[in-house]
Amino acid sequence: MDDRTMDCSSSSYVDSDHEHPRSIVHIDIDCFYAQVEMLRSPELRAVPLGVQQKNFVITSNYEARRCGVHKCMLVHDALKVCPNLKLVNGEDLQNYRTASNKIFELLLSWKCPVEKLGMDENFIDVTKIVQEKLKSVDVNNLIVPGHVYEEASANCACGCHTRLKLASQVAGEMRQKIFNELGFTTCAGIAHNKLLAKLICPLHKPNDQTTMFPEHAEGFMSALPSVRSIPSIGSKTAEALVSQKIITVSDLQEVPLDILKKHFNSDMAVRLKSLSLGNDNTPVKQSGKPQSIGLEDSFKTVSVRSEVEEKFSALLQRLLVLVREDGRIPVSLRVTLRKKDAKRLSSHRESRQCQISPSIFTISNSTLAVTQAGQQKLLTIIMRLFNKLIDLSKPFHLTLVGLAFTKFQERMTGRGSIVNYLMNDISVQSVLNLQSDCDTSATSMDYSAASPGSSTTTDLSDGEVEPSPKKPKKVNWIAKRRCLSKGEVASPSKLKVGELRLNSRELEKVSELRLNSRDRSLTPRASPAKDNMSDNSDTMKDVAEGGICDNCPSDVDKEVFNALPYEMQQELKTMWKNPSSSGVARSSPRTMNKANPNTILKYFVPHK
């Protein structure tokens, strides 16, 4: 099949004036949860398998489907049609999420936009890859893997047939790689837009793919039985359409736009019409990390506080696993309840959220973690939010509890981040723990405190939220330094190696350092005349206040220096006295080469 048009030079293919310029792949994993279970326990491959949540078989392997078990079937009914159905519990979504993320990450390796849709679907815009391929392939002999939806009737002048054939090959490569590296079989749809790619994806299930050329779009759409078959038409829009006797997609194709505009706003009417004809210009939006990470548990009814606490505790355990995988530090927590209204015989949801201290979380070996005490603290916060939502003096009936972390503090990583320094150098942890330890007790020097009992305790009693991490209290460095300076200098031996707590206030201290360095540079860079440190006496002078910064260079911000822990001050002093001994010349930190150690000095650089 040669669909090469007369003017299909390579360059004309990439012309954005093309009528059908894009090549979109939609990939859906076959019987996703069931495949995850079969990959974990290969013996399940040979038997009809159902994945159970509550009383439902939410999915099943194809062996079970052949026996008549279908998605979202009642367990009772599934066992009737398939008595030897093996059931596994699928209520813990952790393994499914992990698999989903691995598939997404693998697709990213093609370096084109990937949009994740739910757990087991991804859109990939392969337009650019196809453009590249066009430069090197013989377009006369292209083989299309899998199926083609109807044979191509006529060549499209824009050259899309060739592009879609190449896109189909890319889809085949992607599916093969997913199988080779992760073991999952998949289906794919290949078309010139997202709508069609998604709709044709399941036409040949399992483990196959389907390509559609644009001229078949309208005919394909007209055969869809219900307007709900169009993914972006939700229940409310469908209801509104049905109320106008627009039931099938064919009805929608035929109804005059003017009539539609009487019932929907103009943009919506045009969009509905367009979708019915198989047109969809929405881009593949690169997926990032989710805005919130949450879990819910529904049940018949819970009316006792202690039971609610148990539910939340179990939910929290599972949620923390997800947060650890995500890697971001949560700073906001939301509690959701579904209350049964006995009078109205209906249920409704209510939520309450509050900010939480990032210091509840620890980073150990680059992994986010929460200590037992931290977990207890979170549970306390959760139950306080619960108390705000429920009047405990009256009976209550809940049918769902939910927990979600809704805002996150990005962990600062990368070569330029001070976190690198902090993560590598034990002594710096005292800086980070300074505030909470001082606040807790002036004598407490237990820096192992990934510190449950520290001042980071979320106090919801007053206005129910902690001070916002975005607007931290101004930290009085001098006061904190005093807390440390009573001969109770932070001892590295008391620090837990690798455990690092960064909260926003602590990070702000770091930025304060940087800000100060901008105005009164700690580095001699701003003071070229003092670059030569061979004669310390010229460049250092005593500081009366506190008697701490003796022999500091004159261009050093004393306040900042005094607020540093003892070890760090010593390190700095040693370097100032003898720059070569530490391998860090007292020239600009920016000029340090790779051989130089990771030192706090390199973070004292004025921002440009």
Residues annotated as part of the active site = 121
Closest distance to ligand DCP from the beta carbon of 294 (Å)? 15
The residue type found at 35 is: Q
Can you list the pairs that 136-140 forms with residues at least 24 positions away whose Cβ atoms lie under 8 Å?
137/166, 139/4, 139/8, 140/2, 140/4
Task: Choose which of 39, 58, 383, 475 interacts with ligand DCP (CB under 6 A).
Answer: 58
Residue 58 or 270 having the CB closest to ligand DCP: 58
| 37 makes contact with Mg ion (CB under 5 A) | no
- Integer Cα distance of 152 and 581 in angstroms: 75
Distances (CA, A) of 90 to 33, 292, 359, 455, 457: 8, 22, 33, 40, 35
Closest distance to ligand DCP from the beta carbon of 33 (Å)? 4
| 28 makes contact with Mg ion (CB under 5 A) | yes
Candidates 24-32, 261-269, 344-352, 547-555: pick the segment binding Mg ion (CB under 5 A).
24-32
Residue 36 or 333 having the CB closest to ligand DCP: 36
- Structure tokens that stand for 496 in this block: 């837990």
Residue 553: closest CA among 580, 582, 520, 584: 520
| 235 makes contact with ligand DCP (CB under 6 A) | no
Task: Choose which of 115, 121, 466, 506 interacts with Mg ion (CB under 5 A).
Answer: 121
Distances (CA, A) of 319 to 36, 88, 333: 20, 21, 11
Q: What is the 3-class SS of 19-85, one letter each residue?
A: CCCCCEEEEEECCHHHHHHHHHCHHHHHCCEEEEECCEEEEECHHHHHCCCCCCEEHHHHHHHCCCC
Closest distance to ligand DCP from the beta carbon of 186 (Å)? 9
Task: Choose which of 8, 25, 33, 209 interacts with ligand DCP (CB under 6 A).
Answer: 33
Task: Choose which of 119, 379, 543, 548 interacts with ligand DCP (CB under 6 A).
Answer: 119
Q: From Mg ion, ligand DCP, none, which one binds at residue 205 (CB under 5 to 8 Å depending on kind)?
A: ligand DCP
Task: Choose which of 71, 285, 349, 470 interacts with ligand DCP (CB under 6 A).
Answer: 71
Task: Choose which of 115, 120, 466, 506 interacts with Mg ion (CB under 5 A).
Answer: 120
Task: Choose which of 3, 27, 32, 212 interacts with Mg ion (CB under 5 A).
Answer: 32
| 33 makes contact with Mg ion (CB under 5 A) | no
| 206 makes contact with ligand DCP (CB under 6 A) | yes
Q: What is the pairing mode between strands 56-60 and 49-53?
A: antiparallel
Q: From Mg ion, ligand DCP, none, which one binds at residue 492 (CB under 5 to 8 Å depending on kind)?
A: none
Closest distance to ligand DCP from the beta carbon of 38 (Å)? 12
The residue type found at 521 is: S
| 29 makes contact with ligand DCP (CB under 6 A) | yes
Q: Give 3-state DSSP helix, strand, coil % of the chain, rounded to 5.
A: 45, 15, 40
CA 52, distance to chain mean position in Å, is 27
Residue 45 or 514 having the CB closest to Mg ion: 45
Residue 122 or 458 having the CB closest to ligand DCP: 122
Residue 146 or 330 having the CB closest to ligand DCP: 146
- Scored b (16 or more CB within 10 A) or e, 223-257 reads ebeebbebeebeeebbebbeeeebebbbbbbebee
Closest distance to ligand DCP from the beta carbon of 177 (Å)? 19
| 123 makes contact with Mg ion (CB under 5 A) | no
Closest distance to Mg ion from the beta carbon of 119 (Å)? 7
CA 165, distance to chain mean position in Å, is 33
Size of the site for Mg ion (CB under 5 A): 5
HSE-CB at 519 with a 13 A cutoff on CA atoms is: 8
| 270 makes contact with ligand DCP (CB under 6 A) | no
Phi, psi of 81 (to 5 degrees): -80, -20
Beta-carbon contacts of 463 under 8 Å, excluding residues fewer than 6 positions away, are none
Q: From Mg ion, ligand DCP, none, which one binds at residue 386 (CB under 5 to 8 Å depending on kind)?
A: none
- Integer Cα distance of 178 and 174 in angstroms: 6
Q: From Mg ion, ligand DCP, none, which one binds at residue 93 (CB under 5 to 8 Å depending on kind)?
A: none
Residue nearest to ligand DCP (CB): 59
| 32 makes contact with ligand DCP (CB under 6 A) | yes
Q: Is 195 helix (H, G, I), strand (E, B) or coil?
A: helix
**Terminal Cα-to-Cα distance of the chain (whole angstroms):** 60
Candidates 112-120, 198-206, 415-423, 434-442: pick the segment binding Mg ion (CB under 5 A).
112-120
| 31 makes contact with ligand DCP (CB under 6 A) | yes
Closest distance to ligand DCP from the beta carbon of 468 (Å)? 36
| 361 makes contact with ligand DCP (CB under 6 A) | no
Q: Is 505 helix (H, G, I), strand (E, B) or coil?
A: helix
Is residue 542 classed exposed, middle or buried when 0-12, 13-18 and 19+ CB atoms within 10 A define those classes?
A: exposed
Binding interface with ligand DCP (CB under 6 A): 28-33, 58-59, 71-72, 119-120, 205-206
